[in-house]
Structure 1
Amino acid sequence: MRRTLKTALAAAWLAIGAPMAQAGPVQDLLQEQGALIEESSRRSIGPAIDAIVESGLPRVQPVLQAWQDKALWIDAGGRFWRVIEKDGAEILVDVDTGAEAGPADTDAMEQIKPNSGIRALIGTALVRFQLSDPDPRRRQAALTSITRDPEPELLAPLRASIETETEADLRARKIRLERLLTMRFGTDEAERIAAIEALSTDTAVEVRAALNPLLATRIVVGPAGETPEGNVARELKPGGEALSISAAYARLVDDGLAPPRPTDAEIRAALEANLVDGRAGGVPLGALGDPAARARAYDALAAQGVVPPRVEERDVETALEAHAFHEVYAEPSEAVTDAARAAITSIGIRVGAMKGLDTGLDALSLASIYFLAAIGLAVTFGVMGVINMAHGEFIMIGAYTAYLVQQVVPDRTLSLIAALPAAFVVTFAAGVAMERLVIRHLYHRPLETLLATFGISIALQQLAKIVFGTQARPLTAPDWLGGAWIVNDVVGISHIRIAIFVLALVFLGFFLFLMKRTRLGLETRCVTQNPGMAASVGIDPGRVNMLTFGLGSGIAGIAGVAIGLYAKVTSEMGADYIVQSFMTVVVGGVGNIWGTLAGAAMIGGLQKGIEVLNPSNTLAAQTWMIVAVIIFIQFRPRGIIALRGRAAGD
């Protein structure tokens, strides 16, 4: 690839005193490998890279880095230089001393341009140096490179770099990676077993991926009664779960230990190919429709040596009885496979426990969502006894309110802070209007209330479609709510769901304080238990009912903001939660906030538990959950925590 054209510009460049590279060990080494370096062939460059790395020269790393970055050049005299950019100019750097040697005339030089394959090889070679690089980012990149492409040659430099590592997290990564490489490439059996045992508590996917090859097996066939050499896992019996009779005989055929068994199609084809004067094997063509006649004809052809002999069931049985089948580990050390098997068992138990914990977190998250969606209904239905089928639409109104706030306030954090009170105010006002215009005329008439609120629900959905359209609207969470809390490869939960859980706890505390420590809460309890007596002591039942219904609606609006952060905001989003909200209140115990919390926990846990058993069908999980709730209500109609005394009502 070296240019042979000596341009006038190159001659002028040399004439004005191109800096001369002093002879040095790195320059001499590059000159020795120059032909391979200039050839830049992925197939032949390996020895050159190995020679440079194994030289142990202190200036090898920057040369390899320059080569990988296409910053290695050759001048007209065949000398190697590093070329760097400084203040907008290209500068020559001596490969041995690292000293700047003046401006570079790259027009008179040849650039070494390694392809992607060569750069990958250079990157692997650089890992040895980068493991102890002063820059922590380079050390981290080196560990990532080893993880992606582990090589046995990297084990020794990795071990050497652990003692000098100052960063705690990088040191932990190096120790873990050293164990993985030792387990896979180590030459000392005791060291490999120790590495496997040390990793037996690590549930990472890459650990399990590294352990599984140690337990890889192959089937070895030998004479009956003999055990093959090597690390035998078990003997396989043909006809068992691990080895069918057909698979066992096929293995004998593949190994040349038994003749192939012709299929019916092959027998028919052989007979057709050997028809002579309307006969095959002496059997007339008209009689070949009979299986027994076909067998006689084929056997006659086989006796003549025209076709392979037919293999009958007794022949298969005889062949299988004459041979033994064993599973043999690819790993020759029995102690290593025993340790790997014990480690995988231990990790499997831990992974199962972690999956249970992850399912529990998912159930807790879902329960928080259901609790937020139902807490407003616990006020309007549980406390007031009003069946509000439009409760889901208040959730939808709250979500759309947050969407509109985001259109006005571009900052996601500020828009979220503003959306919560805005959603409460809007849905509170909507709830008050609904109570004043419709609900107050229908108290103690549950059927009419149900029908009226159901009609309002449909009207609100259609109004939302007219205003916002049928497409889902985005409700973007702030950056600090993005991502997830990752415990390990198995357990994790999104920050949004954690925030919803915290919000559910806040509203639990707020509702308890409101009902137990405020005048409105006291008046609400009085009116719901005995409105006549409450009116006789100066409490206005109409005003209390209006504020209580508005409060329940406002809480539903805030729940809509929280739900809209991770779910789609559409006109039908409320319908997705109305059934679960009613079930949460009824299962927990009507009129009891602690019951609502218990009901949300039960329904969320039940749904997630069923989803684990049938992960491919969420709709089926919800169906079975509803069936379970119906059965539960048959045995406990007042819910988990039923009201007692006068508060229980009729």
Structure 2
Amino acid sequence: MIRVLLSLIWLVASAGLAAAQDLQTVLQTHAEEVASPSRGSVSVVLDDLADLGSPQVSVFLEQWADRNVWQNDETGLFYIGEEDGDEIALTDLDSGEETTAASDGYTQLRPNGGVRRVIGSALVQFQLTDPDPDRRRSALESIGRRADPSQLPLLEASLEGEADPAIRARKVQLITFLTARFGGNVADRVAAIESLSTDTSVEARGVLNQILSTSNDATQGEPNGNIARIRDPSSDPAAFYSELVEADLAPSLVTPGDIRAALEANIVNGRVGGVPTATLGTDAARAQAYAALAADGLAPPLVTQADLAETLSGFTFFEKYDEPDATITDAARKTLDAVETRVGVAQTVDLTLDGLSLASIYFLAAIGLAITFGQMGVINMAHGEFIMMGAYTGYVMQLVVPDYTVSLLIALPLAFAVTFGAGVAMERLVIRHLYHRPLETLLATFGISIALQQIAKNVFGTQARPLTSPDWLGGALVISDVIQISYIRIAIFILALVFLGLLLFILRRTRLGLEVRAVTQNPGMAASMGINPDRINMMTFGLGSGIAGVAGVGIGLYAQVTSEMGSNYIVQSFMTVVVGGVGSVFGTLAGAGLIGFLQKGIEWLNPSNTLAAQTYMILFIILFIQFRPKGIVAPKGRAAAD
């Protein structure tokens, strides 16, 4: 594999040369330095290679640093080699010609770690102007990981001939970062730092934080240098005293263990410091004996709390910027504060988008229930299974139609048809016999939900099935380093808006909607006007179930498709409908928004415990219902009377 890659590299590199460049000749003039390089001698070789200006130099340096260069023991010539048993696959440095030879006639060059770092730094210089864009990107990634002042002039020199807009923009960004940290004069550094005020990337903030890096120090007089802040030793006297001990500015604290060891080491004729050992059973006696040892120079002096406080009072503790110029650090602090403000705003926007996305998912899951429960008053515990049926319909369509876009377009109306039919069958066979009997309805639909889950397990198994989104829904919309949202979530949000508009149109602009509203508000009066309440209930239940099926296709693109996926949304769906207001489409929308934003907000405050977030959300909703039992949008008609 390496031989094929090298051949391609040499072919591309050689195509751009007007005349052959003899890399081997240059290396032979420094054969000893190449074979046994040191950090001092390798720079001579690298300077001559830079003057050569050959694209092969970059390849050679890469292989040299990776210890893939071999030298012929007889001729002294260098080759790129890949060992294979007793043989070596050799590649000529200039022509790229491949040969095979016995390995016992060649010596592998093994530069040490220091030399390899020097080679790596030089390699960046060649890669920044390499004709291959991937090599230039690799060099920029290397600079981004290990910034160094020596890289700044190399970047600036390579900028003029850069034709790729993306690579050029990255070079400009890195030049700004390096100038901010290592620029030659204060004005240039301040200008580079201030230009970062609109850059909210982690990398830019890292540069500013590196400029603002500090170290702890202490002095007995006024502090000198670029002071970041004065520290208060009263916050943790022991820790501050330890700093003085480490700096050899104060004697070490003597621990009880140190006292015991000193006493044991100085027992003479049954006494320690003139105190009989038999009386050393108390702290006071041990302290007296130890003080005597310290007075005789046999142990370090005992530091009392009073001594510690007196010592600390004689020092000023402070944080000092590692950057000595206050102008630089002032500019960096001001810029970082501006960036952090922007990041805070961006995080708020990102959290809002997350909450909006979650709200749209809950709205999709609950909108069908808003019809069956809100309009009809039927507690349908199998609503989640209609969502599951819709998701499995999308999965089956992808098995039949391999084009994900086409299968998705077919799955949406098909899922509606399948779950509409299932909802009508359920209403005709079970629900119609249980109207105005909520407990029996709840138990019956709960049993149906369990049966539907088991049927799904028998048909599709217990493993999660993939409902793959089309390529055009892959990835995410990246607004900044902080703000981004996946295209699938955007699609679900749009689907939720479509459903909202479609449902409002059906309920307010169609005969079915007029009859549904009439039956909902006063079924007796509607029947006297020639409307068949049984038929309307059947169509309403079928409509709610069909919408749940289409929602299942959308949710399946985001969540795992399993036989139990519906149970993950049934509780949130009921909460959405109840909080929003039973029987109101806009109430369902408001409830989904409240629950979605509330959950995301609690997760942001407590990101390490999602279960706690769910618990807090439910508690909040319970309290909310206590103060507004009819929900955000109060119901009307039959639902209000109930």
Partner residue of 1:193 out of 186, 190, 194 = 190
Question: How far is 1:337 from its partner?
Answer: 0.9
How far the C-alpha of 1:411 sits from its partner, in A, is 4.0
Q: Which moved more, 1:302-311 or 1:528-537?
A: 528-537
1:521 aligns with 2:513: yes
Deviation at 1:484, TM superposition (A): 2.0
Which of 350, 354, 367 does residue 359 from structure 2 map onto?
367
For residue 234 of structure 2, the aligned residue among 229, 236, 239 is 239
List aligned pairs for 1:472-483, cutoff 5 A: 472-483=464-475
Structure 1 residues 171-320: aligned runs within 5 Å:
171-223=168-220, 225-228=221-224, 230-240=225-235, 244-320=236-312
Contact 1:37 1:45 in 2 (8 A): no
> Given the two structures, how large is their TM-score scaled by the length of structure 2?
0.87
Do residues 148 (structure 1) and 142 (structure 2) align? no
Contact kept? 1:53, 1:125, Cα under 8 Å:
no
State the one-letter code of the partner of 2:219: G
Q: Does 1:564 align with 2:579?
A: no
2:394 is matched with which residue? 402
After superposition, residues 219-618 of structure 1 pair within 5 angstroms as 219-223=216-220, 225-228=221-224, 230-240=225-235, 244-618=236-610
Contact 1:587 1:640 (C-alpha < 8 Å) held by counterparts: yes
Counterpart of 2:230, as a letter, is E
Name the CA distance, whole Å, in 2 between partners of 1:268 and 1:180: 56
Correspondence for 1:63 among 49, 57, 60: 57
CA contact (8 A) 1:68 1:114 kept: no
Tell me the equivalent position of 1:18.
Answer: none
Q: Which residue type is aligned with residue 486 of structure 2?
A: S
Counterpart position of 2:42:
48
Distance 2:24 2:441 in 1: 92
Deviation at 1:439, TM superposition (A): 0.7
Deviation per residue, 1:457-496 (Å, 9 max, x gap): 2333344344444443333333333322222222222222
Identity among equivalent pairs (%): 60
* Cα deviation, residue 119, structure 1: 6.5
Q: Return closer, same or farther for 1:641/1:409 CA change in 2, 3 Å cut-off.
A: same
Give the alignment's TM-score, normalised by structure 1.
Answer: 0.86
Shift in alpha-carbon separation, 1:519–1:349, aligned structure 2, 3 A:
same
- Indicate the SS of the match to 2:280: helix
Structure 1 residues 125 and 112, CA, compared in 2 at 3 Å: closer, same or farther? farther
Bigger drift between 560-569 and 118-127 goes to 118-127
Amino acid at match of 1:235: I
> Is 1:626 matched up with 2:627?
no
1:506 and 1:268, CA in 2 relative to 1: closer, same or farther beyond 3 A? same
Mapped partners of 2:118, 2:398: distance in 1: 50
C-alpha contact 2:219 2:316 (8 A) present in aligned 1: yes
* Aligned equivalents of 2:555, 2:629: Cα separation in 1: 29
Letter in structure 2 aligned against 1:518: T
2:536 alignment partner AA: V
Q: Distance in 2 between matches of 1:553 and 1:415?
A: 21
What is the rounded CA distance, in whole Å, between the counterparts of 1:91 and 1:445 in structure 2? Answer: 86
The alpha carbon displacement at 1:384 in A equals 1.6
Cα distance, 1:336 vs. partner?
0.8
Answer yes or no: is 1:169 the counterpart of 2:166: yes
After superposition, what is the alpha-carbon deviation per residue over 1:224-251, rounded to whole angstroms, capped at 9, x for unaligned?
Answer: x3323x21223323213xxx21122112
Q: Is the 8 A contact 2:582 2:639 kept in 1?
A: no
Equivalent residues of 2:366, 2:577 under 8 A apart: yes
Q: Name the CA shift for 1:62/1:23 in 2 (closer, same or farther; >3 Å).
A: closer
Q: Cα distance, 1:132 vs. partner? A: 3.3
Per-residue deviation, residues 139-187 of structure 1 (Å, max 9, x unmatched): 3333222212222222112113333333332222111110101112212
**CA distance 1:114–1:639, change in 2 (3 Å):** same
Query: 2:79·2:90 contact (CA, 8 Å) conserved in 1?
Result: no
Q: State the match for 1:14 in structure 2.
A: none
Distance (Å, rounded) in 2 between the aligned partners of 1:419 and 1:27: 65
Structure 1: stretches of 5+ with no match in the other structure: 1-21, 84-88, 95-99
Contact (CA 8 Å) 2:155, 2:175: kept in 1 or not?
yes
Q: Check the 8 A contact 1:63/1:72 in 2, yes or no.
A: no
Q: What's the counterpart of residue 7 of structure 2?
A: none
Change (3 A) 1:46 1:607: farther
Task: Please name the residue that 2:3 is paired with.
Answer: none
Q: Distance in 2 between matches of 1:309 and 1:547?
A: 93
Q: Over residues 18-38 of structure 1, what are the superposed CA-to-partner deviations in whole Å (9 max), with x where a residue is unaligned?
A: xxxx99996664233221212
Asked if the contact 2:21–2:52 (Cα under 8 Å) also holds between the matched residues in 1, the reply is no
Contact 1:64 1:122 in 2 (8 A): no
Between stretches 62-71 and 444-453, larger displacement belongs to: 62-71
Deviation at 1:539, TM superposition (A): 2.9
- Aligned equivalents of 1:570, 1:104: Cα separation in 2: 55
Q: How far 1:135 sits from its partner (Å)?
A: 4.0
Mean alpha-carbon deviation: is it higher for 585-594 or for 27-36? Answer: 27-36
- CA distance in 2 between counterparts of 1:123 and 1:160 reads 18
Cα distance between partner residues in 1 of 2:334 and 2:97: 63
> What amino acid sits opposite 1:604 in the alignment?
G
* Deviation readout 1:349-378 (Å, 9 max, x if unpaired): 111111111111110110011000001001
Q: Secondary structure at the match of 1:239?
A: helix
SS of 1:535's equivalent in the other structure is: helix
Deviates more, 1:456-465 or 1:361-370: 456-465
Please say if 1:159 is aligned against 2:181: no
Q: 1:62 to 1:636 in 2, by over 3 A?
A: same
Instruction: Give the AA of the match of 1:273.
Output: A
Q: Tell me, in whole angstroms, the C-alpha distance in 1 between the residues paired with 2:381 and 2:567.
A: 9
Question: Secondary structure at the residue paired with 2:205?
Answer: helix
Q: Which runs of 5+ in 2 are unaligned?
A: 1-18, 82-88
**Alignment partner of 2:320: what SS?**
strand
Distance, in Å, in 2 between the alignment partners of 1:58 and 1:274 is: 75
User: Which AA in structure 2 matches 1:155?
Assistant: L
